[in-house]
Amino acid sequence: MVTDRNAVLELKDQWRSLEARSNGGTPFQSFSWCHQWLKHRGKDYTPYILIRADQQIIAPFAIAPTARSRVLRLIGTGDSDYLGLVTTMASGEAWEAVIAALHERRSEWHLLHLHSVKQKGDIISALGRYKDFSVIEREYEKCPVLSITGTWEAYLGRMKKVRYETRRWAKRVHEVGAVTMEPVSLPVSPALLEEMIDVERDSWKWESGTAALKPGEQADFVSAVLQDPMMPARVWCLRTNGKLVAFAVVLEDKTGWYYYLPSFRGSCPNAGAHLLSCIVEEAFKNDREFVDLLQGNHGYKALWSDDTIAVAEILTANSLRGSIMLQGYVARWAAAKSNVLRRLRNVVGKVGDRREMNHVG
C-alpha cells in the first residue's frame, strides 16, 4: 500500500515495467498519465495504491477529498475514458484479488466509486461475493471504436459514405490553402502548445466550457501530459499555409490508437473532420488493430463504425454513511439526463466534457 504522495514517484520503474506487460490496459493507466493527474488534478487526493505482493497488480486508487467521508476512486477519474488496473493477470482474477483486499480494508473507506470502467461483469461478480457491500451501477457512456482490418482502400470500398465525405472534407480544406499534416512526438514544444491554445480559443469549445486548454487545473494537467516524454502519445497537427487549424491528441498503446482530444478553428470548419480521416488512414497504413474514438457516441463517430465499447459507473458502500451517499448518486444520475443541467455544470464548474463534442466540422 502506498499512501504517501512523495512515494508515488518511487513506483515509476516498477509501474512502467508492469504496464509494458499488462493485459487489457490503456494509456490512461500509464505511470505518466496517473502521475501527472495526481500532481495537477488530484492535488487534494490522498494516494491509496494497492500493490500485489507478487507485483502482478497495481490498483491505482486515491481517496477523494469528501467531507467526513472516505471515497475511493481510481486515479484519473474525470479525465480518463477508461479506468482500471495495471496487471498481467486476467481481468476477472485481478478484480477478485483487488476487491478482496478492499474488503479486508473496509474500515478505511466508506464508498468505492469506479468510473468509466470496461470490466463491469468482472467487477460486479467480484463485489457480489460480499454480503455487506451495497452496489449500484449504470452504463455511463459508449465509446465508438473502428477495428482495422484489410487496407484503407478496401475499407473505403465498403464504406461509400466515408469515401464521399473524406473527399469532400479534403477538397474544402485544400480550398483554404496549402495543406500539411504531421504527427508530433512528445514532449511538445512551448511554441506548439501556444498554437494549440490559440486553436481552442478560436473554436466553439472556448465559450461552451469544454476547452481543455483554457486556464485552470485541466489545462495544467493536459499541458503536463503533453510535455511528458514518457507519455505514449502524439499530437497530430493539420496546417493550412503553415497555420495550425486543427489538432488531435492521439494516445497510443501496443496495438491501437485512442482519439482523445481534437480541436479545430471555427474559421476552418472541415479541418477537424479531414484530420480525423488522415489519422484513420494512417492507422491502416501502420497496421494498427483499432482506432478508439472514446467517449461521446456522436453522429460523426458513428460514420466510421457501428461498434462500441460500453463503460460503466459502479458505486459500492460498506457502511450506513456510504449507503446514504449512494442515494445521492441515484438522484445525480437522474439529473444527469438533463442536457441543460450538464452544460450549466460545464460552464459554472469550468470542467471540459469531451462527450459534448458534437461538432467535427
Please name which of 57, 53, 126 lies closest in space to residue 86, comparing C-alpha atoms: 57
Buried b (16+ CB within 10 A) or exposed e, 174-212: eebeebebeeeebbbeeebbebbbebbebbbbbebbbbb
Residue 358 has a pLDDT of 42
Buried b (16+ CB within 10 A) or exposed e, 296-313: bebebbebbbeeebebbb
Residue 342 has a pLDDT of 62
**Cell numbers standing for residue 258:** 485512442
Residue 341 has a pLDDT of 63
**172 three-state secondary structure:** helix
The one-digit pLDDT tens for each residue of the chain (361 residues) are 999 999 999 999 999 999 999 988 999 999 999 999 999 999 999 999 999 999 999 999 999 988 789 999 999 999 999 999 999 999 999 999 999 999 999 999 999 999 999 999 999 999 999 999 999 999 999 999 999 999 999 999 999 999 999 999 999 999 999 999 999 999 999 999 999 999 999 998 888 888 999 999 999 999 999 999 999 999 999 999 999 999 999 999 999 999 999 999 999 989 999 999 999 999 999 999 999 999 986 778 989 998 999 999 999 999 888 888 888 888 888 887 776 666 665 565 544 455 454 444 4
Domains and CATH numbers, the chain: 5-142+310-356 (3.40.630), 145-302 (3.40.630.30)
pTM of the model: 0.91
Residue pair 41/217 in contact by the 8 Å Cβ criterion: yes
Q: For residue 220, give Cα distances in angstroms to 199, 215, 275, 336.
A: 17, 7, 25, 27
Q: How many CB atoms lie within 10 A of CB 223?
A: 19
Q: For residue 352, give Cα distances in angstroms to 79, 264, 323.
A: 9, 16, 29
Residues 301-353: pLDDT tens digits? 989 998 999 999 999 999 888 888 888 888 888 887 776 666 665 565 544 45
Residue 96 has a pLDDT of 98
